[in-house]
Amino acid sequence: MLKTLGAAIGAALIVGAETQAFAAGAISGAGATFPAPVYNKWAEAYKAQTQTTLNYQAIGSGGGIKQIEANTVDFGATDKPLNLQDQQTNGLVMFPTVVGGIVPVMNLPGFKPGQIKLTGPQLADIYRGAIKKWDDPLLAKTNPGVKLPNLPITVVHRSDGSGTTFLFTSFLSLQAEHWKSEVGANDSVQWPVGLGGKGNDGVAAFVKQTPGAIGYVEYIFAAQNSMTYALMQDKAGQFIAPTAASFKAAAANAKWTTAPGFYLLLLDQPGANAWPITGATFILMHAKQADAAKGEEVLKFFDWAYKNGDADADKLFYVPLPANVKDMIRKSWSKIVGPDGKPVYK
Amino acid sequence: MSDAALPSAGPPARRAKPRGSLIGQVFEGLCFGAATLLLASLGGIIVSLLIGGWPAISKFGIGFLFSSTWNPVTDVYGAAGPIVGTLITAALALIMALPIAGGVAFFLTELCPAPLRRPIGTAVELLAGIPSIVYGMWGLFVFAPLFARWIQLPLMAAAKPGSILEALTTGIPNGSGILPASIILAIMILPFMAATLRELLLTVPAAVRESAYGLGATTAEVVLSVTLPYVRQGAIGAVMLGLGRALGETMAVTFIIGNSHAFPKSLFDSGSTIASTIANEFTEATSPIHTAALISLGLVLFLITFVVLGLARLMLRQQGAKL
């Protein structure tokens, strides 16, 4: 009996060792759910070309940060960027991959997408419960000639901790002093009013089912569900629509050169047609790689994705980074070194 | 001939041990191990919840249970909202599900025509096998709009200003909140309770039931004064099983309860439960105190379940004394 048990354990060990050896041509990552579709799409195409497998677990940005700090994955992914100081204390290097936009969506019977114009401070007032009805004089001011309905506003937010909420509340903090001091920005906050839906689809469902509701979702959800979105006021004072072009404009005008450690929220960027609630999603890697070959594998994958992945990103409603930013990122990879102190990416 | 049954060779000392002794010992060892493992993991869970939640417990103290502030930005946490939400939804679910579960079980054992018994019984058991996320999605996309249109809006329209009904029915008319979440929970725990109750009722000896019928009792009388008292103890266990599931149910509730950490003020107000709060926030909780607060919530749920089970035991004991 004991012998059989021993044999079984022995066999299990051998099998384990074999899977370990087989996994040598594989890289692993974990983190944000927002970019997971495009990372998986890239991984599929990359595997077909190079035989290298990418195993990406979409466990959420917070989980991604924890996993890379614990060194259980080759890279972490997060929608909530770490500032340079946090990166350095944990010995991490961060760089962006793709850009996405967040869109306020509404349920106003009879209204078409883009018929309502909103400013950042108005959005903050709605979300803190100061503007309670759609025919509020404050809203009428930016919507001359539009007959706003006498409907109560139902505020819908994300119930789960999310990089989307972080970006959205960061935008509200930037636009309104009261939001900054009373609520603040985080991946989950104490919402003054409203109800919470789980995930983008939960928010979209509540908005669709509640006349007078307003919510915020990633662009892909607004586009695929053809929801009524609002035009937002950009930095120049123009009211613009959420489109791939306006997210691209926000990413192109961003001052990546002066952002230490690529810590940058693409909120309220200057320049024509730059969507004000835009953000990048990021990759975290250890600055000092224990295994230089593994570190190189990871960077090779992202280099490949920057070169060949733009079409896939477009198809999935993400916005690829501008070429000059990609060059800056490749240069920044010199900070990622192997045990010998030499950069792993050549 | 009798020698043939014994091991043919071997000293008498061996003979004292019967042939199956090794198997017997292994069996005893495995059973003991299984029981110990269960206790050890139970203890391990309590200890790890205590350790994991300690930063929050030591920071907020007993006030953690009574404050309804839940602010991840300033890292101040209080569990009162989720605790109240958990208790209310579980209690409402139980109140709604228990009579129906009892009705299903009595129908299946007493009234149902024999050919229909199996299909209906299987259907009830199948309901129990549906994953809770399916109930959640169904609740959000199918049930909520219908509920809003046919129940919530008429109720809100019927409420006179200033009446109790108005206080109970204020809220957002989209079919989300405490009551819809409780109804979904009731549907979820119903098959468990109905299936267990049916099994219990089947254990009533046919002789007992038939003698009652023989005395001229109606079906209702048989159920109320013969079979129900016979299975009372087990029935409380079935109810507790349902309540336990209602207390800990996560995904289905998360979809429809509205997820607000404040105290729910009416039946249609948004609320949250302990399990839904943990499910919502655990993956993205980056600050240590946030994680600790969520783990403490888990500990609170554990204690609530413990108290509920303890109360059930107490009720059983008292009833046992009465009998």
Query: SS3 of B273, please?
Result: coil
Strands (E), chain A: 26-31, 53-58, 75-78, 92-106, 117-118, 154-158, 195-197, 213-218, 228-229, 231-233, 239-240, 278-286, 319-320
Q: Which two tokens stand for residue B160?
A: 């006179």
CA dist B91 and B81 (Å) reads: 15
Q: Which of A5, A198, A281 to mutate to test the interface with B (most CBs of B within 10 A)?
A: A198
pLDDT digit string (tens) for A82-136?
Answer: 999 999 999 999 999 999 999 999 999 999 999 999 999 999 999 999 999 999 9
pLDDT for A271: 85
For residues B223-258, one letter each, b for 16 or more C-beta atoms within 10 angstroms of the residue's C-beta and e for the rest, the string is: beebbbebbeebbbebbbbbbbbbbbbbbbbbbbbb
Sign of the dihedral through C-alpha B174, B176, B179, B185: positive
Give the ipTM.
Answer: 0.79
pLDDT for A59: 86
Average pLDDT score over chain A? 89
Of A66, A189, A205, the CB nearest to B140: A205
B175: left (phi over 0), alpha (psi -120 to 50) or beta: left
- CA atoms in the 13 A half-sphere facing the CB of A32: 27
Q: Which two tokens stand for residue B18?
A: 């019967």
Name residues whose C-beta falls within 8 Å of residue A44's C-beta, 6 or more positions apart in sequence: none
Q: Is the pLDDT of residue B101 over 70?
A: yes
Confidence of residue B2 (pLDDT cuts 50, 70, 90): very low
pLDDT digit string (tens) for B160-192?
Answer: 888 888 888 888 888 899 999 999 999 999 998
Residue matched to tokens 């506003």: A153
Q: Is the pLDDT of residue A6 over 60?
A: no
Q: What is the mean pLDDT of residues A322-339?
A: 91
pLDDT digit string (tens) for A166-207?
Answer: 999 999 999 999 999 999 999 889 999 999 998 888 999 999
Which residues from A are below 8 Å from B259, CB to CB?
Answer: 159, 195-198
Q: Which two tokens stand for residue A57?
A: 């677990």
Q: Is the pLDDT of residue A319 over 80?
A: yes
How many angstroms separate the CA of residue A330 from the nearest CA in chain B?
A: 29
Q: Is the pLDDT of residue A2 over 50?
A: no
pLDDT for B321: 59
Q: Which two tokens stand for residue A287?
A: 């600055």
Of B71, B176, B284, the CB nearest to A195: B176
Beta A278-286 vs A75-78: how paired, if at all? antiparallel
Neighbours of B195 (CB within 10 A): 21
Cβ-contact A96, A281 below 8 angstroms? yes
Contact A190/B173, CB-based, under 8 Å? no
What is the DSSP annotation of B274-291? HHHHHHHHTTT--SHHHH
Residues of chain A whose beta carbon is less than 8 angstroms from a beta carbon of chain B are: 1, 59-63, 65-66, 80, 154, 159-163, 183-191, 194-198, 202, 205-206, 209-210, 213
Global model pTM greater than 0.90: no
pLDDT for A23: 44
Contact B261/A183, CB-based, under 8 Å? no
Q: Is the pLDDT of residue A14 over 70?
A: no
Nearest CA in chain A to B251: A198
Nearest CA in chain A to B141: A205
How many angstroms separate the CA of residue A18 from the nearest CA in chain B?
A: 31
Residues of chain B whose beta carbon is less than 8 angstroms from a beta carbon of chain A are: 26, 69-74, 140-141, 144-145, 148, 172-177, 254-255, 258-261, 270, 272, 276, 279-281, 283-286
Of B69, B258, B284, the CB nearest to A187: B284
Chains A, B: CB pairs < 8 Å:
93
CA dist A272 and A264 (Å) reads: 19
Per cent of chain A over pLDDT 70 is: 93
Confidence of residue B159 (pLDDT cuts 50, 70, 90): confident
Looking at chain B, list the stretches that DSSP marks H as alpha helix, in order from N- to C-terminal side: 12-15, 21-60, 80-106, 114-128, 132-138, 144-147, 153-158, 164-169, 178-202, 206-214, 219-222, 228-248, 251-256, 274-281, 288-322
CA dist B26 and A172 (Å) reads: 66
pLDDT digit string (tens) for A28-41?
Answer: 999 988 899 999 99
- Give, for B70, the enclosing helix (H) or strand (E): strand B70-71
Query: SS3 of B179, please?
Result: helix
By mean pLDDT, which of B127-131, B259-263, B309-313 is the weakest?
Answer: B309-313
Cβ-contact B167, B269 below 8 angstroms? no
